[in-house]
Structure 1
């Protein structure tokens, strides 16, 4: 199996659900709590990260990256020309956009989105004496980097790893803050019904597509332009997690700029002299330039109106590129009962449709807490997004308990 680690409220209509678990329990193991993500239904992302879909090319990313009349700029993991779908792509895209803005004379600059790209840009621009205001729809910064502590320890609900540490600028930021990074391994075990170990050669053929494609790109193999990834030159080296959560990295991006939370931008109107933002609840505001760092999913949904409309090649790029989904379900048990030493656990025999709850990450190995994380990606994740929390947790329990004869 070609193992790769993944790139990156209550009810299924919201992104996040958290409750102490009071439902049906496994016979011999007590579930204390859970966290469920639901990124495809998050109204500020509509997915986890981008991919190059069939019919799209890497040139579409370059079209999306291109500024409009030196007034409207774009940044984000979907916009960086060299590689995408990672936090370091978002970071480098933000710096790239800031450098482009600095080549002009714009002084008052608005940034839409307080994720990695937006904050990296804001810091760079403010360091160069630009007046910067960041508008963020959520009640927090970070975007798809989100660390949650409600199960008693920091758990990353979106991005979880720095992928490839050799030369990766995120490692420099983490070291600047003295953040502890934990190297994770690729080793895995495949468990069938009643806890038996399945040899790799005996695993169902569809399992590799699930763990290597759906959980990496957030989409099915038949939806991806695989040729566009043939000559990808990204950072190498091991992957690492943040011991205290990914969101701590934003301490390194503080600066002399303003952040307006819970402020939804609905329209970007451009004239020869200014760019005016229309908001959901406050009066319009005008700036010399605007940097758009919202997710590709938001651009695809058309939640922000552009007046005049986006250039045809940019809109076509948005339409052709894909937005993938990878969701997690964290389960906190009273004690650990799964494989102690394996980083990854595959569970193909759970009597569920292929792609549902077939891969788990063993957090116990790294933090010595009885937490295990299920991953679902692509079409299976979208199918699960409509289910209730109770249904989701029951499927997770059914799978992990079947694999260990609980």
Structure 2
């Protein structure tokens, strides 16, 4: 018989709540988690394993948030998060992946100029279908590395922040030898395009001061071959999750409770609430707070940027493209450059996934799904004129989806230094999770996971202190290692090429 999935192991199940009831004659502490993305699920799992009564309220008809594995092609296709950033035992998701026996396809090692790819398996073309010589791609890549290194000097010279694009412009003025001409210039634009995809926003909006300040785990980047869905389902096991429950209001009461109101008028009462909805939803004020959140909190939410990246997945009857990890198209502007991830290389299924970020992602959401797929096919046919129409296609709209209103956070030019501290700070018994809160690993699945765990721990501490039990329980680890999170000796299953 399988052991119970557990995040803790120092005390038997129920011990903490039993101690609280014995000492204080109180009922089991109750917490509401808003959002069933990986951050909300991690928070709920942590609370549940600490013997809290926890309920997750989710606006969608599915769990996972912006982690969504689609199976309509007859194979798993991640339409949101798809990489494990940091393929090593240091990644907090590694124990779950090992336990489930999931396979990773490593697409890059550490410090790749393309972030999630190495220049080992690719095809890059111009807008007329001519293949770009690999030596030119490497040459421009080396120049791009130097350009970015020189922007660090620009950053150190001035107290004022600027955009990455402005920093690059200054570098090229100072070092004309790094300027690129002709097709080499278009290749440089493609590198900038891939940088913009990493941040899900155009380079003229990315903070030069902050763009490279996050902490990258070792091990490079790996695609989840079977998709992220098994990980999400494992974390969510046995958690009370209410789907189609869109939260509209969170109220703090005079007796230290919170009332969470759901669309339609249903109310939930709890000792605390953990909010893990995407930063775009908070920025749009889709959840009302009573009393209103303090100005220091609302300004942190409003001052943070939220980027957008969409995927258009195409399934074909047969493979007609080369056996490379990705296909790209260079152009005179980063906006016009293209990128296709070849899932056939990693998974064996005849699927290409086109990725569009920033303004291009925003503009594509103005089109119908059919028109968007046609646009992507036009890009593909510039590389392969005889490309057939896809048998199926899928289109995301993360920017206009009311459940997300964007993808993940980015650092705005001139952002206040204390923004993240304020963003993650609780307001009484209202706690905040989500990928945006984890500044060290922002925009990643494991970063969102860790943010949920941290919010849960802070919430537990608050409740224990309020109940007067913290002094006796503070030496107890509330996150016990178990077979789900154990380090173990079974290695990650990794393939390449």
TM-score (norm 1): 0.70
Of 319, 328, 343 in structure 2, the residue corresponding to residue 346 of structure 1 is 328
Deviation (angstroms), 1:194: 4.6
Per-residue deviation, 1:354: 4.6
Q: Deviations over 1:111-151 (max 9, x none)?
A: 00111011111111111111001000001110011000101
Give the superposition deviation at 1:362: 1.2
Among 116, 129, 154, which residue is 1:195 paired with?
Answer: 129
> Please, which of 234, 248, 251 is the counterpart of residue 252 of structure 1?
234
Q: 1:288 to 1:345 in 2, by over 3 A?
A: same
Distance 2:228 2:49 in 1: 24
2:44 matched to which residue of 1?
122
Match of 1:171 among 76, 80, 94: 94
Q: How far apart are 1:369 and its partner, in Å?
A: 2.1
Q: In 2, Cα distance between the equivalents of 1:283 and 1:164? A: 41
Does structure 1 retain, via aligned residues, the 8 Å contact 2:37–2:64? yes
Aligned to 2:201: 219
Shift of 1:189: 2.5
Q: Matched residue of 1:391: which SS?
A: helix
Cα displacement (A) at 1:255: 5.0
Partners of 2:230 and 2:276 in 1: CA distance = 20
Moved over 3 A (4+): 254-257
- The alignment status of 1:404 with 2:384, answered yes or no, reads yes
- Tell me the equivalent position of 2:469: none
Question: C-alpha displacement at 1:193, in angstroms?
Answer: 4.0
**Residue 375 of structure 1: aligned partner:** 355
- Alignment partner of 1:113 is 2:35: yes
Contact 2:189 2:337 (8 Å CA) reproduced: no
> Cα gap change, 1:139/1:331 in structure 2, threshold over 3 Å: closer, same or farther?
same
Offset of residue 325 of structure 1: 0.6
Q: Aligned residue for 2:215?
A: 233
Alignment correspondent of 1:389: 369
Q: 1:230 and 1:398 mapped to 2: Cα distance?
A: 34
Change beyond 3 A, Cα 1:109–1:206 = same
Distance 1:232 1:393 in 2: 34
1:299 to 271, 282, 291: 282
Deviation of 1:291 (Å): 0.5
The alignment's C-alpha RMSD in Å is 2.3
User: What CA distance in whole angstroms lies between the structure 2 residues aligned with 1:193 and 1:126?
Assistant: 54
* CA distance in 2: counterparts of 1:248 and 1:181, whole angstroms: 13
1:275-294 to 2 correspondences below 5 Å: 275-294=258-277
Provide the C-alpha distance between the structure 1 equivalents of 2:284 and 2:219, rounded to a whole number of angstroms: 36
Contact map agreement 1:131 1:257 (CA 8 A) in 2:
no
Q: Would you tell me which structure has more helix in proportion to its own residues?
A: 2
CA distance in 2, matches of 1:231, 1:316: 22
Partner of 2:106: 183
Deviation at 1:405, TM superposition (A): 3.1
Secondary structure of the residue aligned to 1:379 is: helix
Superposition TM-score, scaled by structure 2 size: 0.58
Number of aligned residue pairs? 302
Structure of larger gyration radius? 2
2-side partners of 1:170 and 1:211: how far apart?
25
Alignment correspondent of 1:37 = none
